[in-house]
Amino acid sequence: MKSLPKSWMRLICTVKNNSGGPCFHYHLYHEKNPLREKDARWHHPLPLNRKHLPENNSVSFGDYFHAVKSFLMQEDCKGLRKAISDLSGRNISARELGDIHIFLEKHGEFYHPARVKSRGHAFVVNGALSPAGKKNICREYILLEYLQKSLSVSFLPKVWSLGRGKCPDGTALPMFLGEWFGDFHEFHIAADPSPALSAGKKKQRISVWAPESRYYLNPAQQDALYRQVAMILTVCYDTESFRHIWPWHHAAGDFVLKLSGGSPEVKLITVRQYEPVIRLAPEEAGESDLLQALLLFLISLSVHTRLDRVEGTGELIWAEDAAVRPTLEGFFKGLRQKKPPYSEPFPSFFLAFLRQLPKDSREENAAAVAANLPPASPESEIVRKNLKTHIKTLFQTVNEGIDL
C-alpha cells in the first residue's frame, strides 16, 4: 500500500489541530528519517547505551515515542506551552501548537534525549530507561532549576516540567522538558588526523561530533574549550557551602560546544549531583577550611578535565599537558565572576596560597582526590598512573604565572 501524499497528511493534521490537539511526527535523528508505526524499527528494542550494545529492554522505539508524546500532552500540553511562552513572550493555547516533531537524538547511559520542535522552537525531553537514569532524573531536574534561579547563567539549560510518559502497555518512564542547545555538539579527544603525523605517536586533537561531518579544533580553540569548562564549573562552585557539580565526565558528553566566529562556546547540559567537597557547616568554617575546600575542588577539576574516552566510546585517555594551563586560567576566571569578596582580591590571595603550598601537602591533597574515585574503576587506574606528574605540571604552571 502506498503512503499518503504529503498534502493529505497536512490535511489530516489540520483536522486534528482544529479538533483541539497538536499533530505529532516522529524521526530518528533527522527529518529525512521519519519513523512510522508500520516501520519495522518502530517495534525494535531501544538500545540502553551509547555503544548500541544489546541489553535486556522491553521498550521499543515506538514505545518511547509514544511515551514522549504522552508526557508532552499532559495537562493540555502545559509544560510545552509554558516553555514556548517563556521564549516567545506570549501565552499560547494547545490548539496553537500545530505540528510537533520529535527526534530521538541518542542513547545515553542515563537518558535518551528527544529533541522536540514546535512553533519554531526546539526543546529536549530527557527520558530515563536505565536504573541509573531513573534514580537520577528527579534530582537533576531540581538541581538545574535551583542553579538557574541562583546563578542566572546561560551555560546551563532551563527546565520547565517534570513528570512521566506512558508507553502503550502502561509502563511509565520519568521525563523532564528542558532547553535544547541548538547547533551544540559533543566533543572528544581523538588522534590528530594530519598525514604528516602518520609515523610515530599521534598527537591529540579535539574532535567535534557535528552531524554533517566531524571536525577538529585547532590549539587555540582547544585552549578556549578547556578554559570555558573550568570557568563554568568554578562559577557553579559554592564558596560558602563548598558544593560543586560532581560527577561529570567528558566521555559522557556532559559538555557541548559550537563554534561562533571561529571561537568555541561551551555549555554544560547535565547536573547529576551538587554536594560539598568537604562536609562542614558554613557557620563552622574558617579561612583555612575555605582554602582547603577550594584546593580540593581545583585539583579534582584539573584531574577530571583530562579524562575522556577516545572518540567518546573508546578506551580511556589522558589529555596532554596542554590542557593544564587553560584549565587554571578558566578556574581563576570563574573566581573573578563570583560576588565580593570572592571576586577580588580573593583570586590573587588564593594564587599566593597555591604558590607557597609545600610539595607534600600538594601530593597529600591530590591523593585525597584520587581516593574519592571507586578503587576498581578504570578512571581510578589512569588517574593513579598520571597523578604525580600531573600535580608537578599543575604547580609548575601556577609558579610560572597565571593571568588574573
232 and 121 in one domain?
A: no
- Residue-level pLDDT at 51: 57
385 and 243 in one domain?
A: yes
123 and 29 in one domain?
A: yes
245 and 301 in one domain?
A: yes
Decide if 50 is inside a domain: yes
CA 299 to chain centre: 21
- As a whole number, mean pLDDT of residues 48-65 equals 76
Last residue of one domain, picked from the residues 114, 147, 179 = 179
Average pLDDT over all residues of the chain: 91
CA dihedral 316, 214, 248, 64 (to 10 degrees): -110
Flag whether pLDDT at 1 surpasses 70.
no
**Which residues on adjacent β-strands are paired with residue 181?**
none
Decide if 40 is inside a domain: yes
Residue type, 143: L
- As a whole number, mean pLDDT of residues 172-194 equals 94
| DSSP output for 11-80 | HHHHHHHHTT--EEEEEESSTTSB--TTSGGGGSBPPSSTT--------BHHHHHHHHHHHHHHHHHHHH
207 and 162 in one domain?
A: no
Decide if 115 is inside a domain: yes
Percentage with pLDDT > 70 across the chain = 91
- Residue-level pLDDT at 108: 83
Give the residue, 114 or 200, on which the prediction is more confident.
Answer: 114
Domain range holding 27?
Answer: 22-179
What whole-number distance in Å separates Cα of residue 65 and Cα of residue 79?
A: 17
357 and 298 in one domain?
A: yes
CATH of residue 69: 3.30.200.20
Last residue of one domain, picked from the residues 179, 210, 241 = 179
301 and 212 in one domain?
A: yes
Q: Is 241 helix (H, G, I), strand (E, B) or coil?
A: coil
84 and 125 in one domain?
A: yes
pTM exceeds 0.75, yes or no: yes
pLDDT in tens, 102-133: 999 988 888 999 999 999 999 999 999 999 99
Total structural domains in the chain? 2
- Residue-level pLDDT at 171: 96
301 and 263 in one domain?
A: yes
